[in-house]
Amino acid sequence: MNSERNYFITTPKGLESLLADEVRELGGRDVKLGQAGVNFSADLKTAYRVCLWSRLGNRVLLPLAQFKAASPEALYDGIQQTDWAEHMSETGTLAVQFNSSNSAITHTLYGALKVKDAIVDQFRDRFDVRPSVDRERPDIRINVYVFRDKARLSLDIAGESLHRRGYRASGAKAPLKENLAAGLLRQAGWPETFNKHAGLIDPMCGSGTLPIEAAMMSADIAPGLLRDYFGFKGWLQHDEALWQELREEALQRREAGIKNIPPIYGFDRDGRTLASARENVQRIGLQDQIVFERRELDQSQPLSDVEPGLLIINPPYGERLGSEEGVAKLYGQLGKVLKTVFPAWQVSLFTGAPELLYRLRRPIQSSGDFYNGALPCKLVQYAPLMVEPLAQAVEEQAAAPVAITEGNLSSGAQMLLNRLRKNVKNLKRWAKKNGISCFRLYDADLPEYALAIDLYQSKQLWVHCQEYAPPKSVDAQKAQQRRDEALQVLQLLFELPPQQLIFKTRQRQKGLAQYEKQNNREQFIEVIEGGCRFWVNFHDYLDTGLFLDHRLTREMVQGLAKGKTVLNLFAYTGSVTVHAAVGGAVETTTVDMSNTYLEWAQRNLELNGFTEEGGHKCVQADCVQWLINQTRAAAVPQYDLIFLDPPTFSNSKRMEQTFDVQRDHVALIGRAAQLLKPNGTLIFSTNYRKFKLECGVLDNLHFEEISRATIPKDFSRNERIHYCWKIQLNRLDL
């Protein structure tokens, strides 16, 4: 039984693609999507591993035979073609699950009876004894599905649905099955979140399914570890030693992984369901890792030192709220709570009432279709509310001007003013000498004033100030006071009209959230850098369209580009492409998923006199999928120079799957390198500050870290502002 066999694992509708990924991760081969399930091939050890570790599956079926079954007699005869003594003893127990569709046999109980009779009669004829029926925990469970009079006969080696983890009280029901909860967590990006040790909150946790499944994922606990019954346990071809080896491995992984659980909270107003949640978590031994508390929705705050992560919620249905009117009212309340209590959290909401989502008054980032039983539902995801421009505060200050003098400043504000004056003195001469018109003046140099202040010199001077949002442990009134002091200091130092001083609050970001539109002024200012001209926008987005920390990287591309074909991936507003074109590139290709930023890139190119007709092409595409398509093309395109600067994380609805730079960079770099000419250069950069390059499997590439050489003087306070490598093909491969 160590040879590979074909299997089919079932799952709730909507989870098929996620399950396919999971089966591949568990070692399944030849994975193919099916209806409400996935086909795969595996040896016995891998099949056992799927039974033990699948979080998304229901039943694992081992096909035994297919035959025509246009009548009960044909069904009976087809079942008898299998030698059942290979699978169970004559005194063993069995159960039959029978389903049919578009077939002559329509009565499921009668079909199951014929299957049972065929097996029992075979044993009676051969051994003069017969096995018995045990519907709860048989030695083997037989699954028969007849579609258009063709029967598929399988063994259910899981025995019962894998969603039954063993931590829920026998007979207890929950509005959300465990495997569906795990699928929602995976779709919502929980693995990427807990890898950063950010937290999770379910403010309407009920009996705790979502928090418990989240904890099991982050602790690397096998979902089948508590189960004492599987369908293969009584199967004659079962290998107990192999199974115990896998269980022992899972126990060791649990012991090691339980230390890695991030903060997880489950809140609910119903004390009875919380009692069930506490009983469930007690059974799995995670009572010290998950906090369950009775709280009203608007009190669902974690401890102040918890890093914002994922808020996932499955709002209760009418039964718990009493009426449809109660459900509608809940959604309105939920929208207020998400805005006021959880502005910095990624939000995923699983709902059977999508018509009420408008009550949340929050733009949807992405959505997916799922089923909770037979009920069609949606998982809707919302990006954190990252930016709250303080234009109103600036305008109010301008409307009622106060004579700001150094004598009016607090000691802290005076200290900030002195630091800014010192920085201006140190950087102004450097900027003038190097022809730099846009640079970072201050980057949280003083802990009390956590600001990033950039100067942009166009026809006028613009001050772009971003406040790093204070943690909740900082008193809100104190934070507002420091914000006001910073505004006073900036006005005093630069003596600018309010419209040239832009003040924003910057929260912790995920994926493409920093690129989402925050305003609609459409005011673009032209600036010059390294002989290139760019449009920047201070109001409509969190970032201006020009990443100042990549100034030296762009100049390096410009110096390498002469006579070259250049590819710019995850191109944002195309600033690197402009530098390449100005540097003499004969052809450029700019790829980004956002049409808004591609149009911005085209405007930047045109501002410098470059057009598509002149060999400068812009392509709207998911860069990951675009690379896959290009490397599979009959004629793989080749480039002399490739610039690759992906986001840290993205789960954009326009992407086929989530992207995580730490998890996916090896495959990404490998595919990009396939597009390099023999003497070409790939420049890879990332702003993920915890990034670790894993290039061991890319032994055909030579990596040279150039991070320090690409960090400008105005960003030298923080050597981790970005990482950068120059990558080339090893000479042996040329």
AA letter at 394: V
pTM, whole model, 2 decimals? 0.56
User: For residue 171, what pLDDT is reported?
Assistant: 59
Same domain, 559 and 696: yes
User: For residue 511, what pLDDT is reported?
Assistant: 41
Same domain, 266 and 297: yes
Distance of CA 708 to the CA centre of its chain: 30
Q: End of a domain among 508, 524, 558? A: 508
CA distance 168 to 161: 14
Segments in 285-403 forming alpha helices (H)? 318-321, 324-340, 391-399
User: For residue 276, what pLDDT is reported?
Assistant: 93
Instruction: Let me know the angle formed at the C-alpha of 570 by 569 and 574, rounded to the nearest 5 degrees.
Output: 85
Same domain, 398 and 376: no
Consecutive H or E run containing 375: strand 375-382
In this structure, what token pair is assigned to residue 314? Answer: 């499955």
CA distance 61 to 469: 52
Q: End of a domain among 123, 156, 189? A: 156
Same domain, 366 and 398: no
User: For residue 325, what pLDDT is reported?
Assistant: 66
Segments in 131-268 forming alpha helices (H)? 178-187, 190-195, 209-218, 240-257
User: For residue 624, what pLDDT is reported?
Assistant: 93
Q: Is residue 339 situated within a structural domain? A: yes
User: For residue 655, what pLDDT is reported?
Assistant: 60
In terms of residue numbers, what domain contains 150? 5-156
Same domain, 266 and 126: no
Same domain, 483 and 589: no
pLDDT along the chain (734 residues), means of 10: 87 94 96 93 97 97 96 96 96 95 92 96 94 94 96 96 90 81 96 91 94 97 95 96 97 94 93 92 94 90 79 76 67 87 90 83 82 91 58 34 60 92 90 90 91 91 87 75 86 84 68 48 85 91 92 96 97 96 96 93 94 93 94 90 93 72 94 94 95 85 94 91 94 47
User: For residue 541, what pLDDT is reported?
Assistant: 85
User: For residue 112, what pLDDT is reported?
Assistant: 95
Same domain, 481 and 549: no
Q: Is residue 51 situated within a structural domain? A: yes
User: For residue 512, what pLDDT is reported?
Assistant: 41
The count of structural domains within the chain is 4
Same domain, 572 and 500: no
Q: What DSSP letter does each residue of 597-618 carry, written as one string?
A: HHHHHHHHHHHTT--TTTTEEE
Q: End of a domain among 322, 352, 382? A: 382
Q: Is residue 169 situated within a structural domain? A: no
User: For residue 396, what pLDDT is reported?
Assistant: 36
* CATH for 331: 3.40.50.150
φ/ψ region of 609 (left if φ > 0, alpha if ψ in -120 to 50, else beta) reads left
